[in-house]
Chains A and B, each alone.
Chain A
Amino acid sequence: MEENSKDLSERIWRAFSSMKLGLALLGIIALVSGIGTIVPQLEQAPEKAKQLGQIWQWMGITHLYNTVWFRLLLGLLCINLIVCSIQRLKGIYLRTFKLKPPTTLEQVPLKIRLTLKGESAQLRESVQTVLKQKGYRFSLSNQSDWSFIAIKRRLGNWGSLITHLSFVVLVIGALLGSLFGFKGSFMEGAGTTFPIQEIQLSKGKVSETFDVRINSAEDRFLPNGERDNWYTDMSILENGQEVSRQTLSVNHPFKYHGITFYQANFANGVSYTIDMKGKKTSVVLRDQGQSYFQAPGTELYLVTAIKSGSSQKADVLYQVYKGTEEKPIQAGQLTTGQTIDVQGTYQLTFNGLAGFTGLQVKKDPGVAIIWLGCVLLVVGLILAFYWQPIVISGIIQSEDGVQGNLTTGALSGKMTANSQAALERMVDSVSKLLK
């Protein structure tokens, strides 16, 4: 029984240490990702995705990247990568830090080899001088014949290992984000205050309790008429007290206690004051009737559209609807500062134009890990491809103890031509010294 379970775990270990499995997983992930760009996804095209049948949704085809089995694929790949890395760790360590000089001629790499004749003692001297000069680290052996092994850019050996582990780090970062973060957005007019819990969420939950106040929202233009940026001046209120205030714009987010606000959208709006039996409230309505105001306790709906003007002086159109009736029961035009009566229910004052700002709100505790993974990934790749180690070894054999035969060879590595060139340069320098 014990034998069996050992056998099984060994078999599993071996399966996960295979690059074949890794490549198969990568292939499947690529394929599944590709399908997700053809089949509409709930995240990008919710309406189209919902038109697909229930079965599709149930299988997760409409939200592929969030399904359990897509995560399972990523998880398997991570296990694969970790097992692979563990297995290769010792070999890489030995190849980097514990290089052993050859003891016989056969141990000198055969594929790229050069030989040189000379006086033994002088050969030894010259080889060491050249290796030092060219920045190699080397170790020597005097066992039967004099021999050496030298390595340059040895950290390059760690490139692929670091690359592989960086991928695991990235997956962990993404997982943290999806478990403990949230993502949402809101579209609010200047002057409004609302609790952070009320934003529209697309992912996760908000546990924070502060309020957000939009002080102003502006769509600014450059003198040449091009759009400069959208700006939002906003405050964070804890128990009604302002604790932080910042102006943000696209590409210049604002961060508060791990929650980041990003400028994402902008719309023009109209600011009104509504006086209902002496109780004043201010509302900002979006242009073109994209938002409405329902007077409390009534069936009156107010929408508005901007006709002309700037923020100082403007004309707007307004319409009041009752219930689900198709025609407005009251409509007209207002200029800045004007007050009218709406159906004897409330007084409407038009204060002027106001911006409507659309912000994305996000909390992602995994982001730092993601950037760490990115740094590791880049470092690993640079080591793997731009910092490839060169390993040269050689042995001096002598018949009479005075004259010797230096046989050197280079490990061919992944780019044979580079190793070849490095060996040639070294032998060239040694033979120059001999003269």
Chain B
Amino acid sequence: MLENLETAMFYILVMASTLAMLLYLIWLGTKKEFIGQLATYLTIVALIANIMAIILRMITSGHPPLSNGFEFILTFVGGIIAVYLFAEYRYKLRALGAFVMPIPFLLLMFIIMKMGPEERIAQAIPPALKSQWLTFHVVTAMFAYGAFAVSFGLGAMYLIKLSKEGTQKNSNQQGIVSRFPPLDRLDELAYKVVGFAFPLLTLCIITGAIWANYAWGTYWSWDPKETWSLITWIIYAGYLHARLMYGWKGKRAAWLAIFGFAAVLFTFFGVNYLLAGLHSYAS
């Protein structure tokens, strides 16, 4: 019964976020206020369905959503949508939706195309995963990764606006990017979002270390997942410094934000599917 409800929530999430993504894209082109509002409402529906699915999963399995890749992705998607909605509301930035919402869409498509039903069901968790620290670990990861996805979207917007403004004055394309905030506003927003996420990523790594120390007696063992989260951390530290120092604002900072998110995705997928390690239970 609850399992069926959870499945229903999952498909509502898939449909609502797919539609929302399409509507954000259409809204960019048509400027119809109604479409934009609908896109926002659908994103809210997607978030609610996502949270419901996670809660139902936690009720039926009795532990935080981290026993397999399916649950991780679901949590990741929830983080992205939550941080995105906050940014849209706070900065009145609906255009961002067209750049951020494709990410949860692709993640959900990955689940649908690549994960069979047996990979999606709740699994018993090994004793090592029974720790409160792990809950913090997942919550901080969820918001940090969600925010990095948003900064990726902002970076992409920046680069597109820059190239359109720099080259042609074609009125139609100008029309789309004219909905974007000014370049330096985009740049500062991206910095703000990274500044929000960086301490969270740090906390995520630290809570992971505390937990590993409890479970295995080593706070850091250089397994690929840990190492890649450190590399991600260094890239974003580089972003923060480069921005302060050489006045690497704008274009290069935007590329770094995109690069950083690529590292986030690699930490998430690449390590599970391409490299093996201690975290192999996560795949």
Contacts and interface: CB of A to CB of B under 8 A. Distances in A.
Interface of A: 19-20, 22-23, 26-27, 29-30, 33-34, 36-38, 41, 43-44, 65, 174, 183, 226-230, 249-253, 260, 262-264, 360-362, 367, 370-371, 374, 377-378, 381-382, 384-386, 414-417
Sorted nearest first, the 7 A-B pairs with minimum C-beta distance are: A250-B127, A381-B199, A37-B224, A362-B217, A262-B217, A30-B234, A385-B195
A34 B227 contact: yes
B238 A229 contact: no
Contacts of A65: 222
A90 to B, nearest CB: 19
Contact of B231 (A33, A44, A228, A252): A33
B234 A183 contact: no
A65 B224 CA distance: 12
Given A41-B222, A43-B222, A44-B277, A226 B124 contact: yes
14 contacts: A19-B241, A23-B242, A36-B222, A37-B227, A226-B124, A227-B126, A230-B127, A249-B127, A263-B127, A264-B217, A367-B219, A374-B209, A377-B202, A384-B199
Contact of B196 (A44, A252, A385): A385
A22 B241 contact: yes
Contacts of B228: 34, 37
Interface in B162-206: 188, 191-192, 195-196, 198-199, 202-203, 206
Interface string B123-142: 01011101100000000000
B237 interface: yes
Contacts of A37: 224, 227-228, 271, 275, 277
A36 B227 contact: yes
B41 interface: no
Nearest to B201: A381
B151 to A, nearest CB: 13
B41 to A, nearest CB: 28
A264 B77 CA distance: 32
Contacts of B275: 37-38
Q: Which of B198, B217, B223, B235 has the most CB of A within 10 A?
A: B217
B131 A33 contact: no
Interface string B115-127: 0000000001011
Interface in B206-260: 206, 209-210, 213-224, 227-228, 230-231, 234-235, 237-238, 241-242, 244-245
A26 B234 CA distance: 7
Interface in B86-116: none
Contacts of B230: 30, 33
A371 to B, nearest CB: 8
Contacts of A253: 214, 217
Contacts of B278: 44
Query: Main SS of the interface on chain A?
Result: helix
Contacts of B209: 370, 374
Contacts of B128: 250-251
A139 B252 CA distance: 40
A230 B128 CA distance: 10
Nearest to A167: B237
Contact of A33 (B217, B227, B242): B227
Nearest to B230: A33
A22 B127 CA distance: 41
Given A19-B245, A43-B222, A250-B128, A367 B213 contact: yes
Interface in B260-283: 271, 275, 277-278
Contacts of B271: 37
B130 A385 contact: no
Nearest to A260: B217
Contacts of B188: 415-417
Nearest to A385: B195
Nearest to A37: B224
Contact of B130 (A229, A260, A371, A384): A229
B75 to A, nearest CB: 21
A252 B188 CA distance: 45
Contacts of B131: 251
Nearest to B225: A37
Nearest to A249: B127
Contacts of A23: 238, 241-242, 245
A414 B191 contact: yes
A34 B219 CA distance: 19
B166 to A, nearest CB: 24
A206 B144 CA distance: 41
B186 to A, nearest CB: 12
A386 B127 contact: no
A30 B235 contact: yes
A264 B218 CA distance: 12
Contacts of B210: 371, 374
Contacts of A385: 195-196, 198-199
